Amino acid sequence: MEYKEIWIDIRDEHEVAENQIVAPTTTGNNDILVMNIPSRNIFANVEWMERITKKGVKITLICRSASRSKKVKDLYFADNEKITSLDKGIANPNIKLKIINTKTN
């Protein structure tokens, strides 16, 4: 399947373990792939990310508050308009979370 958009959750594994981003339900070739690449590992994926955006894939970087994703965007992809940072991070109303690990008292 060819994805037109990829959401990359750059939060650390322990953050994702508490609440995971869920892709919206779409149809056809407009499906969105959600994947986790912690911010500390983005450097190893820069070439791949640049290559797929040249094929027309849009990448949205997502973190808790948008602070890390803006830093990653500015550091590695400042000139790539196909790679963006999601405003408000996981608090953005366009993001649906699946609560995986809830703490009970």
CB contact at 8 A, 97 and 90:
yes
- pLDDT tens, residue by residue, 51-88: 999 999 999 999 999 999 999 999 999 999 999 999 99
What pTM, to 2 d.p., does this model score?
0.87
| CATH, domain range 5-99 | 3.40.250.10
Q: So where are the chain's domains?
A: 5-99
Largest distance between two CA atoms of the chain: 49
If one compares 100 and 26, the residue with the highest pLDDT of the two is 100
Contacts 24+ apart (CB under 8 A), 20-25: 20/97, 20/98, 20/100, 21/62, 21/90, 21/95, 21/96, 21/97, 21/98, 22/96, 22/97, 22/98, 24/94, 24/96
